[in-house]
Structure 1
Amino acid sequence: MERTGTEEEPRRLADFLRTHRDRILSDWLAAVRRLAPARDLDRPILLDYLPQFLDDLADFLDEVRAGNPATEPEKLPALHALERLEVGYDLAEVVEEYAILRQCIIDLVHHESAPAMRSAQLARLHSGIDRAIVTSTARYHEASERTLRALDRISSAALTHRDPEKMLPELLKVLLETCASVDAASLLLLEGDLLRVHAAEGIGLEHTIGETVPVGASLAGQVALRRAPISSRDAATDPLVTRESIKRSRVRGYYGVPLLLGEDLIGVATIGSASSAEFSDEDCLLFRTMSARAAALIAQARLNAELARRNAELANALEYRDRILGVLSHDLRNPLGVILMSAELLGRGGPLSARQQRSVGRMADNARRADHMVRDLLDYTRSRQRQTLPISPRKGDLLTLCHEVLEGLQLLHPRVELRCTAEGRTDGWVDPERAGQVISNLVTNAIVHGEPGAPVTVALRGIDGEVWMEVHNNGLPIPEILLPHIFDAFRRGAAPAKGTTGLGLGLFISQQIVAAHGGSIEVRSKDGEGTTFRVRWPRREAGS
């Protein structure tokens, strides 16, 4: 069926662009979504200046056909480049958008078999798009380099001045030095429902530091309320600008942007010009980009300051706690000694009934347990104060010491088989009481957390100038997440065994004792292999 006169395709390429404008834009939108930064952009932002650019391109072709002097559209491609830089496009993706536009137009011309495909103006269409690419590339590169230099200076200022109140004026100085058209700048931070000026530079605005602006009032308050940039061409007469300090200043062009971190409003940044009624698109882009970086730096500086404050509070609290623990532990030893001695005297005294003997025995056992806890607390407070645990090493035999400790533990755990093996020389310089404490802690830990009824083995092996001691038990492995912290104070595992007593200081104290001897301690725990604590005891006295 033949087309009617009204259905015929336009013969002129300019008319074809106008007639099929919506179809071209629709095809372009579908194709351009394959670019990574375009996938999540809203339709209006993605289209940007493209509809108007097509109109300008058609007008350009008309002027050329009429023989009038004409130049390819350049203003909108320049603005488009700045907008794309702000939303995260790289230069190749900006160029690709124009390549897709060119292909959409050519494909549609051929698909419709339009007379425009034979138009001599096709060459001028290509030159118009090529000029747009050249303009966009140049503006993108220039703005990108300028922005990167400014952001680098902002980062350097933030590294130099960690304190937020000292950092803010430096950020404004970078801004003033970067944008020639900017004569004044301010940073207002949100405090409840108010914006407070924390930093201000240029044309006498320094005296405004400390001023407050309610959210919703004046230009800065409206920026905070709307969370969007707002500009004024004449701050002195604009009814939106109600701050007297700004009206009395020499500011003409006035521009404010919100300082956002995600969805959270941190404050508002403003710039002013004494000579210009408005700022260039490139200056506005640079200001928005710098403000976004400043918002992140301000938030980070505030977080660092808060962490430092809390760390100081925690350090003071821990220091106070350690002092209290030290005093209590020291003062408790005497009354505990009296209780323990009294219990032993009662046990050795006159005839007692079986019930009385059991009571005295429980009294003595609990006094010893409390004494061990107090001793551990004293050792802990010494280590917290960077003091080495006191030891009195002398020549001794670790194998003999091991048998003595296991003999005592066997009485407490008659159902668990305790084994001790030795290979090579096991003599060395150790504090027998402290070394026995390590052996007791490790073996008790193996009994409590090992597989019920499974044997616990202590293996000694003497080589060269040291003696290695391994304490092994079968059972579930220590969770990997706990292994790096197994020797931390007050650690008692993910699920302490039923009936476990103590403060969770056993492994911590053991590590400190071994370190005081100049040795080391480590742990290996795997499913199917059990858990093994390995202790290296130097054969000679530490420091000798």
Structure 2
Amino acid sequence: MSQRELESQGRTRLCDFIRENQPHILAEWEQEVRACASPQGLSRPRLLDHLPEMLDKVAALVETIHTGEHETLDQLPERHALERLEVGYDLEQVAHEYALLRACVLRRYEAHAEQVGVGELAVMLREVRCFNQMFDEAVSAAVSCYARTRERTLVALDRLSEAALGTEDLDTFLPRLLRIILECTGSVDAVTLLLREGDMLWERAAVGIAEGAACGFHLKVGEGFAGLIASERRPLEVRSAATDPLVKSPTLRARGTRALYGVPLLHEDEVIGVAHMGSLTAFEFSNEDKLLFRTMVSRATGLIVQAQLATRERQAREESERVLARIRAQEVRTARLQEVTDALSRVLTTDEAARVVVEKTVRALGAAGGSMGLLSPDGRYFEMRVNTDYPEEVTRHWVRFPADAPVMFSQAVRTRAPVLYETREAFLADYPQWAEDPAMQHYNAFATLPLLVEGRALGALGLSFHERHTFSKEERDYLLVLAGQCAQALERGRLYDAEQQARAESQLALARLNLLMNTAPVGLGFWDTEMRYVRLSERLAEMNGLPVAEHLGRRVREVLPELAPTLEPLFRRVLETGQSLVDMEVTGETPSTPGVLHHWLVSYYPIRDVDGTNLGIGGVVVEITERKRAEEELRRAAEFRERFLGIVSHDLRNPLNAILLSANALIRAEGIPERQMKSIQRITTSAERMSRMIADLLDFTRGRLGGGIPVTPRPTHLSPLCRHVVDELEAGHPGRQLRLKAKGELQGEWDPDRLAQALGNLGANALDYSPEDTPVEFVLQQEEEEVRIDVHNQGPPIPPELLPHVFEPFRRGSEESTRQPSSGLGLGLYISQQIVQAHGGTLTVRSTDTEGTTFTVRLPRKSTPSRGSG
């Protein structure tokens, strides 16, 4: 029957009645429901929930008996049951709500039927039967969903409670909670929890596909999916998290997450975080899963708050314990520091201070070993003073090492700051070259402290630990104080060592001075500024003829009254001028040998302090009495010998001249056989040689006893003079080649005879000491106010050891260096030098393998006549 037919009879169809009277039905239902205790706290929207929509669905289902169409309730009963479950309804209350709703509808429709009439009864009964059937299905679905969800919820909550037992660590507790949520919800692949810190949400735990992938992910409240949930304080769902711009998590986007559902963690109306679950397969979660997720997150929120409170309580307790431990550790460190201070106050030397500090520091910090290296005086090396508890194979290479070596000691001294490594890995990051060192395997933490005194580095203190070691601020402060005390103790020890060393060196120097003074073959003495004896050697006391004790503290005048007039002026001169007097001869008598004349060679010098203050006089005295006597005897003997040679040479000239005259007369005579003529010529040659030797002896005697060889200068041109000398040499040495080169102005005032004698001697010497096939060269040239004569030959060089002595009298070259036996006395070069010096000139020689031998004469153009006698 159609609606029009029913209306013509006065009755409205049940489906239309429900639609038309829905507000009245719900108002009546609300009134009856609120009479019960359960929903008193629910708002009207929350109380009505899905009922208006359900009544529309029921009306549509009843209408199908007229239209023949197919309709369902679309899980509305399940959703309603889940909502009631979430607000705390039990199953009886949920069923009671449905019963009341059915009663309200039927009661109103019954009143309508009585008013307008039943009409066609069969149709009405079918409508009512369909209505009851739909309500029965709704109740059944709601009850089933409620029971199933409640069971899952109770199991999940029990698991959450069990997971929370016995743990307070959030980093351990949160993954457990999320793992249970993941396991209790269907089609969920990831669960993530973000906790709030101020205006930021930080990811604290994730399980499933997001586990460990986005460590450190965070965002602001109000930003992104989780931030929006936190700011709006309500659940939020997206169907495609991988592409939705609201989702900021790189992990969720990268893993292709589809459905994403998130809820805020509310505690006392405050958002403490956000939890969301994601699926890789589903685009949305079931209402049952979302309700279960919300319920579990709500329970987890309370557990998280409890865990946070427990964590804070534990942290506060631990902090209190740490503070108490620090106080106790500080007390222990203070006691040990006092112990170190007391120990350091009793040590004197640097080594003692170093040993005390290293041993006490190792004990105070529980280190495996300690060492101390001090810088060498020049700052270039570390010298290891103390090593404790280190194996021998570690320490034997570190007795002394460069200050710039790649080690912590160098770094601490360079930076003037502690160098601390709490782990071996941190140490090797800065010092990778030690990674292969076997000793590294024994240690896992290191500390090195610079030892500073007024900004100056003395060295460094090093510590090693077997285990990793965290250096707290208190421990760092303790180390700095300890290093400061150590440095002060080392400085005191250094000063003590320096004082002891200085004292030892002073005593050693005094002992050495006494030994030197008493073993020296000369007399040594020291006098103060008042000319009093301060110290003197045994030898000087012997020279003075008095014991050492009778000198000390007494003035020179009191000890040596006869010599005081000579010595005191010398002492005053040294004191007043500050200059030394060296090798001065003093003659006088001593108290022990009056009347006996002694000779001394004395040297006096000023003695000054480091600041220049004049402390007195030092002196060296050598007695030369015997040497003077020997020198006088030698002088007399030499003078006698030379006078004898002069006399003999002079007296031999007369008979020698007679021999030469007679021989020359015989040579000019006629009728003398050739054989006798050769004998006469030999006589003549030998007599001439003797004449030259006598002339050399006379010249030598004049040079040694007469004040030098006399010369009589007159205007002379050097070129023809030298040509005459060369001609004579060529006549006496037939077959030898002599060259003469002259250039420049060669006019001057010289004694031509003596000059020719000197040049002849030089030429003859060059011929004698050069090979026959080599030339001898005479080179004449002007040099400003002088003229220069070079006589050069290419013979073997004069040995270097003989060069300084070639002009000494009676000196001859070696037989190997001359081509023929020498015919002279070894006076030629001596006489040549004397002649050149008599003209005011110089004669020098140079001789090498490559250049040969060259004698060089330099003559002033004008000579002063010699005052020597002929």
Match of 2:298 in 1: 292
Distance (whole Å) between structure 1 residues aligned to residue 266 and residue 83 of structure 2: 18
| Amino acid aligned to 1:147 | T
Change (3 A) 1:281 1:322: same
Match of 1:203 in 2: 209
Match of 2:97 in 1: 97
Contact 2:193–2:203 (CA under 8 A) maintained in structure 1: yes
Cα offset, 1:115, TM superposition = 4.8
Matches within 5 A, 1:21-60: 21-60=22-61
Q: Does 1:236 align with 2:237?
A: no
Cα offset, 1:322, TM superposition = 12
Contact 1:109–1:116 (CA under 8 A) maintained in structure 2: no
**Aligned residues: CA RMSD:** 2.7
Distance (whole Å) between structure 2 residues aligned to residue 268 and residue 72 of structure 1: 36
TM-score by length of 2: 0.35
Distance (whole Å) between structure 1 residues aligned to residue 211 and residue 315 of structure 2: 32
Q: Does 1:153 align with 2:183?
A: no
Distance (whole Å) between structure 1 residues aligned to residue 248 and residue 72 of structure 2: 43
Distance (whole Å) between structure 1 residues aligned to residue 210 and residue 325 of structure 2: 48
Q: Does 1:78 align with 2:78?
A: yes
Distance (whole Å) between structure 2 residues aligned to residue 244 and residue 190 of structure 1: 19
Contact 2:214–2:250 (CA under 8 A) maintained in structure 1: no
Matches within 5 A, 1:486-525: none
Contact 1:15–1:58 (CA under 8 A) maintained in structure 2: yes
Change (3 A) 1:182 1:320: closer
1:269 to 268, 275, 279: 275
Cα offset, 1:128, TM superposition = 1.4
1:212 to 203, 218, 232: 218
| Amino acid aligned to 1:59 | A
SS at match of 1:27: helix
Contact 1:74–1:131 (CA under 8 A) maintained in structure 2: no
1:304-343 deviation digits (Å, cap 9, x = unpaired): 122223344556778999999xxxxxxxxxxxxxxxxxxx
Q: Percent identity?
A: 40
Contact 2:214–2:251 (CA under 8 A) maintained in structure 1: yes
SS at match of 2:299: helix
1:16-64 deviation digits (Å, cap 9, x = unpaired): 1111111101111111112333111111111111111111111111112
Distance (whole Å) between structure 2 residues aligned to residue 171 and residue 269 of structure 1: 11
Contact 1:260–1:266 (CA under 8 A) maintained in structure 2: yes
SS at match of 2:260: strand
Cα offset, 1:123, TM superposition = 2.0
Contact 1:53–1:73 (CA under 8 A) maintained in structure 2: yes
| Amino acid aligned to 1:208 | A
Matches within 5 A, 1:39-188: 39-66=40-67, 68=68, 70=70, 73=73, 75-112=75-112, 113-115=114-116, 119-120=124-125, 121-188=127-194
1:396-436 deviation digits (Å, cap 9, x = unpaired): xxxxxxxxxxxxxxxxxxxxxxxxxxxxxxxxxxxxxxxxx
Cα offset, 1:196, TM superposition = 0.3
Identify which of structures 1 and 2 has the higher relative contact order when contacts are C-alpha pairs closer than 8 Å and 6+ apart: 1
Distance (whole Å) between structure 2 residues aligned to residue 320 and residue 231 of structure 1: 51
TM-score by length of 1: 0.55
Structure 2 unpaired stretches of 5+: 1-5, 331-870
SS at match of 2:263: strand
Contact 1:72–1:127 (CA under 8 A) maintained in structure 2: no
Distance (whole Å) between structure 2 residues aligned to residue 107 and residue 134 of structure 1: 22
Distance (whole Å) between structure 2 residues aligned to residue 226 and residue 240 of structure 1: 14
Distance (whole Å) between structure 2 residues aligned to residue 114 and residue 14 of structure 1: 18
Change (3 A) 1:81 1:9: farther
Change (3 A) 1:211 1:9: farther
Distance (whole Å) between structure 2 residues aligned to residue 78 and residue 116 of structure 1: 37
Match of 1:387 in 2: none
Distance (whole Å) between structure 2 residues aligned to residue 57 and residue 271 of structure 1: 34
Q: Does 1:260 align with 2:266?
A: yes
Matches within 5 A, 1:348-427: none
| Amino acid aligned to 1:52 | E
Cα offset, 1:243, TM superposition = 3.1
Contact 1:10–1:16 (CA under 8 A) maintained in structure 2: no
Cα offset, 1:106, TM superposition = 2.1
Distance (whole Å) between structure 2 residues aligned to residue 191 and residue 116 of structure 1: 69
SS at match of 2:257: coil
| Amino acid aligned to 1:207 | A
Cα offset, 1:180, TM superposition = 2.9
SS at match of 1:206: coil
Contact 1:13–1:116 (CA under 8 A) maintained in structure 2: no
| Amino acid aligned to 1:130 | D
Cα offset, 1:102, TM superposition = 1.3
Contact 2:54–2:73 (CA under 8 A) maintained in structure 1: yes
Cα offset, 1:202, TM superposition = 1.6
Q: Does 1:222 align with 2:232?
A: no
| Amino acid aligned to 2:59 | A
Cα offset, 1:241, TM superposition = 1.4
Distance (whole Å) between structure 2 residues aligned to residue 222 and residue 110 of structure 1: 50
Distance (whole Å) between structure 2 residues aligned to residue 90 and residue 19 of structure 1: 31
| Amino acid aligned to 1:104 | C
Contact 1:196–1:210 (CA under 8 A) maintained in structure 2: yes
Structure 1 unpaired stretches of 5+: 325-544
Change (3 A) 1:185 1:26: same
| Amino acid aligned to 2:293 | F
Contact 2:192–2:210 (CA under 8 A) maintained in structure 1: no
Change (3 A) 1:151 1:9: farther
SS at match of 1:240: coil
Change (3 A) 1:229 1:114: farther
Distance (whole Å) between structure 1 residues aligned to residue 280 and residue 62 of structure 2: 41
| Amino acid aligned to 1:65 | H
Distance (whole Å) between structure 2 residues aligned to residue 306 and residue 86 of structure 1: 31
1:159-193 deviation digits (Å, cap 9, x = unpaired): 14321110000111111211230001100000000
Contact 2:25–2:105 (CA under 8 A) maintained in structure 1: yes
Distance (whole Å) between structure 2 residues aligned to residue 8 and residue 48 of structure 1: 36
SS at match of 2:63: helix
Contact 1:234–1:252 (CA under 8 A) maintained in structure 2: yes
Distance (whole Å) between structure 2 residues aligned to residue 187 and residue 7 of structure 1: 64
| Amino acid aligned to 1:85 | L
Distance (whole Å) between structure 2 residues aligned to residue 115 and residue 64 of structure 1: 22
Q: Does 1:19 align with 2:37?
A: no
Cα offset, 1:73, TM superposition = 2.8
Cα offset, 1:145, TM superposition = 0.3
Cα offset, 1:108, TM superposition = 1.5
1:107-157 deviation digits (Å, cap 9, x = unpaired): 222334355865212122122111111111111000000111111111111
SS at match of 1:162: coil
Match of 1:434 in 2: none
Distance (whole Å) between structure 2 residues aligned to residue 298 and residue 7 of structure 1: 67
Contact 1:252–1:272 (CA under 8 A) maintained in structure 2: yes
Change (3 A) 1:181 1:64: same
1:475-526 deviation digits (Å, cap 9, x = unpaired): xxxxxxxxxxxxxxxxxxxxxxxxxxxxxxxxxxxxxxxxxxxxxxxxxxxx
